[in-house]
A and B are shown apart, each in its own frame.
Chain A
Amino acid sequence: MNLLDFARGPALKVAIAVFCLGITWRIVAFALLRIRRDMNRPRASVLKFLGGGLLTVGSRSWPHREFIGRTGAGEALGYSYHIGLFALVLLFTPHILFLGSLFGVTWPGLPSSLITVISVLTLTLFLAVLFRRVTNPVMRMLSNFDDYFSWFITMLVMVTGLAATAHFGARYETLLAIHILSVDALLVWFPFGKLMHAFYIFPSRALNGALLARKGATS
């Protein structure tokens, strides 16, 4: 068994298993946590309570008008690289075929040359995100190993993918194997680091919004 066979064979299988196990573990544990009972009388109906949750998912996904000057650039950066990542993962034909081999469903992709342009742009945005994190004193204070490692492993996947597409630095199959191994590593890390925000972000916003709505506050 060569490195490529290992990367997309046993290593991928283990990575998918760890990913599924970790994601379910954290979601179930989170969902079953006991929320401290609020003894106050509800200030809103059940409908408003639920609506408040949903509204918060939307409102927190957009910069607040009052702070747009300060947070707008950061949010634009965040949105841009997330869209880039989305395109790279879901609209590159080899990726579609990879996902198709796992789930049996495929869809049209973008031209490879356009994907290469998107990769370079997304990589640049990723570097900008890191620059912002280390130069902004508040963000630097808030950051820990988890933030940097999550950034690193996502970046690694993109760099190795770009190298594999460009046949840069080694033989294609070696580069492809390294790329798939980096994806395997990302899948293993995903549930246990801050990448888990992909699953937590909307439920946590909804819960916060709902709890605030119960108290009669808008968020």
Chain B
Amino acid sequence: MSLFNEQLTVGESLRLHGISRRGFIKFCTAAASAMALPPWMGAAMAEQLHQAPRPSVVYLSFQECTGCFESLTRSFAPTIESLIFNVISLDYDDTLMAAAGDAAEAALTKAMKDNFGKYVLVIDGSVPTGAGGAYCTSGGRSAVDTLREAAKGAAAIVCVGTCSAFGGIPFADPNPTSAWPVTAIVGDKPIINVSGCPPIPEVITGTLLQFVSTGQVPDLDEHRRPKAFFGNTIHDRCYRRPFYDEGKFAKSFDDEGARNGWCLYELGCKGPTTYNACATIKWNGGTSFPIESGHGCLGCSEPGFWDKGSFYAAQSSAEWGKGGAPSPRRVLEVGGAAVAAGAVLGVASAGVSRLRQHRSEQNTADRDKKEG
């Protein structure tokens, strides 16, 4: 069973919904623009998509909070409706689909069988491997088994959200469920990470659209994220950046600096080390993004963001791993022990030096006595 049980090309589907070819080209041009693709890519995408059958997409949710899917449903360009009605065939998604139980499992099996080697597998959530995978099961199968099976026939895997991309919160210390990102489980498929907690909706749909229209994995950074969206730091594109350069920093969330829109670096903003499109694409149809709303970036699209110390410690702060940032007391402990050891060494060195000096003087005195 498929949610949209039609084997139509994208063009046919669009015609059915009364969307003109011209309108579709405009839609693809807007999507290409959002992905920072060359201008001609919009028309090329439209042409490719128009003739192609709607690619099958299987969306599996594992150890997650559904925030990523909630984000996806708020995409403005393309909207989730236009994506799943016109561009892709969403054959399995346990959050959206009406089917449940055996019918839902049968839909998954059928989608994987009918589109073996061609479907796009979207993963949301980390994969717990502890206790034989018992921390996350669906239809009597563990997440890790379902992933391995679904990955076999996937053309590519798109990891939506930091949990599936990098492990996210479940992966954070002490990782009680032995959770892993998808890349740790599947090694033989093209994997595209669309990280974020949650990711920007347009980044999810844009990445999917680019893959299904071109059939190719976009240019990725070293964390397998599309460079079109993750090529710059938030700091580089932040509208508060001039204040950083001027040395104007908000000291608290409600001081005059904060009200004047000054840089949030001192309040722990992780923008300088966070690669994402928040400052350009923004959220809720380009309304704003967290920094614009007055809070520093948490760095949620970076690996291990949950374990990188306080969200409110400035980026240049020292971090001493477990226990967070070093406090004067911890510095004193480390420094104090070293100072004590240094003092002992100093006393010993001075003692040795004095002994040598004494022997040298004695030798000189003995020699003088002999000669004299």
Contact = CB atoms under 8 A, between A and B. Distances in A.
Tell me, yes or no, whether A binds B: yes
Interface of A: 1-2, 4-5, 8-10, 12-13, 16-34, 93-95, 97-98, 100-104, 109-115, 167, 171-173, 176
B43 to A, nearest CB: 33
Interface stretch (B45-53, B152-160, B176-184, B330-338): B330-338
28 contacts: A1-B321, A4-B273, A5-B319, A9-B320, A10-B320, A10-B321, A16-B335, A18-B338, A19-B338, A22-B342, A24-B339, A24-B341, A25-B346, A25-B349, A26-B346, A27-B346, A32-B346, A32-B347, A33-B353, A33-B354, A93-B265, A94-B315, A97-B316, A102-B326, A104-B328, A109-B247, A111-B247, A172-B233
A217 B334 CA distance: 45
Interface of B is mostly: helix
B258 to A, nearest CB: 16
A28 B245 contact: no
Contacts of B345: 21, 24-25, 28-29
Interface of A is mostly: helix
Contact of A13 (B246, B249, B272, B320): B320
A112 B246 contact: yes
A30 B353 CA distance: 10
Contacts of B326: 13, 101-102
A23 B346 CA distance: 9
A176 B318 CA distance: 12
Nearest to B342: A24
> Which 5 pairs across A and B sit closest by C-beta, in order of nearness?
A28-B346, A24-B342, A32-B350, A111-B247, A94-B316
A4 B248 CA distance: 25
Contacts of B246: 111-113
Contacts of B320: 9-10, 12-13
B148 to A, nearest CB: 28
Given A9-B319, A28-B343, A172 B235 contact: yes
B247 A33 contact: no
Interface of B: 233, 235-236, 244-249, 265-266, 272-273, 275, 303-304, 308, 313-321, 325-328, 331, 334-335, 337-339, 341-343, 345-347, 349-351, 353-354, 357
Given A33-B354, A94-B314, A5 B343 contact: no
A17 B331 contact: no
A18 B346 CA distance: 14
Contacts of B273: 4, 172-173, 176
Nearest to A14: B334
A93 B247 contact: yes
Contacts of A173: 272-273
A190 B290 CA distance: 42
Contact of B325 (A24, A93, A101, A176): A101
Contacts of A17: 334-335, 337-338
B266 A97 contact: yes
Contacts of A93: 247, 249, 265-266
B328 A103 contact: yes
B349 A16 contact: no
Contacts of A24: 338-339, 341-343, 345-346
A102 B236 CA distance: 27
A213 to B, nearest CB: 24
Contacts of B339: 20-21, 24
A16 B331 contact: yes
A199 B317 CA distance: 26
A190 B341 CA distance: 17
B298 to A, nearest CB: 15
Nearest to B354: A34
A188 to B, nearest CB: 12
Given A94-B265, A102-B328, A20 B338 contact: yes
A103 B334 CA distance: 12
Contacts of A8: 317-319
A99 B244 CA distance: 19
A8 B313 CA distance: 13
Contacts of A21: 338-339, 341-342, 345
Contacts of B327: 104
Given A28-B350, A113-B246, A13 B334 contact: yes
Nearest to B302: A173
A20 B328 CA distance: 14
Given A9-B321, A28-B342, A171-B275, 7 more contacts: A8-B318, A17-B335, A21-B339, A24-B345, A29-B346, A94-B314, A110-B247
